[in-house]
Amino acid sequence: MNRRCGKTLFFDQPPSVLGFAAVGGKRESEGPLADGFDLLETDTTFGEKSWERSESKMQALCAELTLQKSGVAAEELDLLFSGDLENQCTASNYTLRDLAVPFVGLYNACATMAEGLALAGCFVAGGLAKRAMAMTSSHFCAAERQFRFPLEYGGKRTPTSQWTATAAGGVVLGESGGPPYVRAVTFGQVTDYGIKDINNMGAAMAPAAVSTLLTFLRDSGEKTENFDRIFTGDLGMVGSALMEELCRREGIVLTNHDDCGLLLYDRGKQEVGAGGSGAGCSASVLCSHILPELRAGRMRRVLFIATGALMSPTTTLQKESIPGIAHLVLLESER
Amino acid sequence: MRFFWAFLVGGGLCVIGQLLIDLTALTPARILVLFVVSGVALSALGWYEPLADFAGAGATVPLLGFGHLLAQGVLSAVERHGLLGALTGGFSAAAGGIAASLVCGVLASLAARSKDQC
Amino acid sequence: MKISKEEYDKLSRQVSPKSKLWTDCLWAFFVGGTICLIGEGLRAFYQTRGFILTDASALASVTLVVLSAILTSLGWYQKIASKAGAGTLVPITGFANAVVSPAIEYRVEGLVTGVGAKMFVIAGPVIVWGMMASVVWGVIYYFLRPMLGG
């Protein structure tokens, strides 16, 4: 029986990760995780004439590779959860034109990968889908022109700003198969501590990550040291420091925390401000680093907590603060 | 000597802009608006003309100079056309810069393509 | 969580790195100063070619606008600006960059609805509020003039 404890869902037949793939662009090919990517394209137009089409193309390539590596045909998928940062989630919508799969479009900004993975896990563990896929993408150029400025506009980035990854990641879950496994998920709640600076999204999202982590620890009775690694998505340098400080105030000393935004790039050599961000950032780190480590048995138990900043350019201009969200997935290398 | 002052005053005005960016929560768009409106005000008070005489392009190239240009244009247009000049003076004086930017924008949109920053 | 919004605001300010004020200002000063220096050079050049001062000034501005548009098209203006900050923002070249860059970026949305509609999406406020200020000044000057004995 699957059970619900507090706000966390525990699966007694944990869905298996059948396969996964990560696709990245030029910056990602120069980063420390490059070796883990399945495809790196230094021409970030992906041969297309608009940045929106480029992102869709990248996502399509990611879907193709993910299915291929999972040994699953598109027709065998019962559900596909996908999302991105573009208005109306168009990168996903246009990708799915060419994939005949029941499609659930998602938006939780940079937390979308954990959201999709958690939902896919629920459907498979609950017996409502035999195989389900989760996928997200983000493209630096598509995000810049939508959320900030034209690419040729001369602006100086503040030191707290983060760099949107040009990357995509996809995971297929199935009822039975090899490691890793999705053991439990916690859907987070919107948390807003009043941060208004859109160039400091790490600070806006850190409380959401802490809130979801605390909920999971309370529901499961676990301690942070029970895990090999606790990965947050896209908090960057500022958000990571804030998360560790917030945890300390709750009596938790985080010694095994890593952030996807800090893993994807080398901040010393690459100019990415406070770190990477974007829906594709945590997705590609999951598929190029976390899942391979679990599959190889180098990590056994891992928390994947992707975080999202849920503002829009309109709400920002209206001086609203930035709501944050974080979803948690417990991944294990043994069933 | 003119060149020296142009460099010094122009650079100095940019530093004021940089201080506003770094030390206040003002966005670049607001700072530019502030500069232009301040340029109109300073010119109206008669304080900008001496700086422009003294520093040349150092005073006219920064956006404060754009405000100065607008204010001067309005001034001479009011002299010649009365109240109507208040409406026509600004755009007439600024026409060169704005039209040049506009034409360049159209040409660039045809010739250039949006490029990634990496 | 135990922390209040006020405390969190304080904490996030402490943790967030500040801009490097001295480096930023030096960059802004030298790049901004250099652009003005080029402007002065152009003005002197046009004067030697027989243009009167106001025309030489206007021609110098137009030349700077064209140079900025070329650098913007090549993607170089953005690279310089990522270091120079206000040094490339405040001079008229920054205004030109703010007009040309959306024109290039939104070309894919069409010549009318993209280039036409979005060209002044960044520079528009400067024109709107600059014009408003000049009209207000014009009206004030009109009523002030008789008192000044004009």
- d(CA A286, nearest CA chain B) in Å: 23
Is the minimum CB–CB distance between A251 and chain C shorter than 8 Å? no
Q: Which domain holds residue C52?
A: 20-119
Q: pLDDT tens, position by position, for chain B (118 residues)?
A: 889 999 999 999 999 999 999 998 888 889 999 999 999 999 999 999 999 999 999 999 999 999 999 999 999 999 999 999 999 999 999 999 999 999 999 999 999 999 998 7
Please report whether residue C130 resides in a domain: no
Query: Is the domain of A89 the same as that of A190?
Result: no
pLDDT reported for residue B1: 82
Whether the predicted pLDDT of A153 surpasses 70: yes
In one-letter notation, the amino acid at residue A91 is A
Nearest residue of chain A to residue C107 (CA atoms): A50
At A189 the pLDDT is 96
| Alpha carbon of A303: minimum distance to chain C alpha carbons (Å) | 20
For residue C35, being part of any structural domain is answered with yes
Which H or E run includes A308?
strand A301-309
In which domain, by residue range, is A74 found?
3-174
Q: How far is CA A43 from CA A9, A25, B27, in A?
A: 41, 7, 32
Among candidates A184, A279, A265, which has minimal Cα distance to A227? Answer: A184
Task: For the beta carbon of residue C10, count every other beta carbon within 10 angstroms.
Answer: 12
Judge whether residue A155 has pLDDT over 90.
no
Rounded to two decimals, what is the model's pTM?
0.95
Is residue C139 assigned to a domain? no
Q: In angstroms, rounded to a whole number, what is the distance separating the alpha carbons of residues B71 and B89?
A: 8
Q: List the single residue in A26, A151, A155 with the smallest CB-CB distance to B114.
A: A151
A54, closest residue in chain B (CA to CA): B116
Q: Do A259 and A115 share a domain, yes or no?
A: no
Q: CB B89 to CB C138 under 8 A?
A: yes
Query: Which residues in C lie closer than 8 A to residue B109 (C-beta atoms)?
Result: 103-104, 106-107, 111, 114-115
Distance from CA of C55 to the nearest CA of A (A): 28
pLDDT band, very low/low/confident/very high, at C2 (cuts 50, 70, 90)? confident
Whether residue C114 lies within 8 A of chain A, CB to CB, comes out as no
Domain count, chain C: 1
What local confidence, expressed as pLDDT, does residue C149 receive? Answer: 65
pLDDT for A171-197, tens place per residue?
999 999 989 999 999 999 999 999 999
Q: Do residue B17 and residue C35 have CB atoms under 8 angstroms apart?
A: no
Query: Looking at chain B, which subunits does it touch, using at least 3 CB pairs closer than 8 Å as the criterion?
Result: A, C
DSSP structure class, residue A144? H
| A163 shares a domain with A21 | yes
What is the mean pLDDT of the segment spanning A226-243?
95
Band of pLDDT at residue A328, cut at 50, 70 and 90: very high
Q: Is the ipTM reported for this complex over the cut 0.85?
A: yes
C112 touches chain A (CB under 8 A): no
Residue A165 has pLDDT above 90, yes or no: yes
Q: How far is A19 from chain B (nearest CA, A)?
A: 30
How far apart CA A305 and CA C41 sit, in angstroms, is 57
pLDDT of residue B26: 86
What share of chain A has pLDDT > 90, as a percent? 96
Only one residue has tokens 């180098």, namely: A298
Which residue in the block uniquely carries the two structure tokens 């699957």? A2
b (16+ CB within 10 A) / e for A264-275: bbebeebebbbb
User: Which of the 8 DSSP states describes residue A6?
Assistant: T
The DSSP letter of residue A219 is: H
Residues of B in contact with C75 (CB under 8 A): 115, 117
Which residue, A174, A203, A231, sits at the end of a domain? A174
Is C46 among the domain residues? yes
Q: Given a cut of 80, is residue C150 above it in pLDDT?
A: no
Contact A19, A287 (CB under 8 A): no
- Strand locations in chain A, DSSP E? 3-5, 8-10, 16-24, 39-40, 79-83, 103-106, 131-138, 163-164, 167-174, 181-186, 229-233, 257-259, 276-277, 301-309, 324-332
Contact A290, A280 (CB under 8 A): no
- What mean pLDDT is predicted for residues A298-312? 96
Instruction: List all residues of chain B from 4 to 43 with a beta carbon under 8 Å from chain C.
Output: 6-23, 28-29, 31-33, 35-37, 39-41, 43
Q: Are A188 and A212 in contact (CB under 8 A)?
A: yes
**pLDDT of amino acid C148:** 75
In this structure, are A170 and A190 located in the same domain?
no
The answer on A208 and A90 residing in a single domain is no
Which residue carries 């939104």 as its tokens?
Answer: C106
Residue B25: predicted pLDDT: 82
Strands A163-164 and A276-277, sheet pairing: parallel
Q: Which of A328, A325, A331, A330 is nearest to A213 (CA)?
A: A328
The percent of residues in chain A predicted with pLDDT above 70, rounded, is 100
Q: At what angle do helices B63-81 and B28-44 cross, to 10 degrees?
A: 40
DSSP label at residue C17: P
Which chain C residues touch B17 with a CB distance below 8 Å?
A: 28, 32, 85-86, 89-90
The pLDDT tens digits of the residues spanning A65-105 come to 999 999 999 999 999 999 999 999 999 999 999 999 999 99
Distance from CA of A50 to the nearest CA of C (A): 7
Helix (H) / strand (E) element for A183: namely: strand A181-186
Last residue of a domain, one of A174, A202, A232: A174
Who among B74, B82, B108 is closest to C134 (CB)?
B74
Question: Which of A174, A195, A229 is the last residue before a domain boundary?
Answer: A174
Output the average pLDDT for chain A.
96
CATH at residue A191: 3.40.47.40
Task: Identify whether residues A18 and A166 lie together within a single domain.
Answer: yes
Same-domain status, A188 and A150 = no
Is A44 touching B (CB cutoff 8 A)?
yes
Model pLDDT, residue B79: 94
A332: tokens are 């294990």
Overall number of domains in chain A: 2
pLDDT tens digit sequence for C35-62? 999 999 999 999 999 999 989 999 999 9
Task: Copy the structure tokens of residue A60.
Answer: 């399509």
The answer to whether the Cβ–Cβ distance between C11 and A250 falls below 8 Å is no
Q: Across chain C, what does the average pLDDT equal?
A: 94
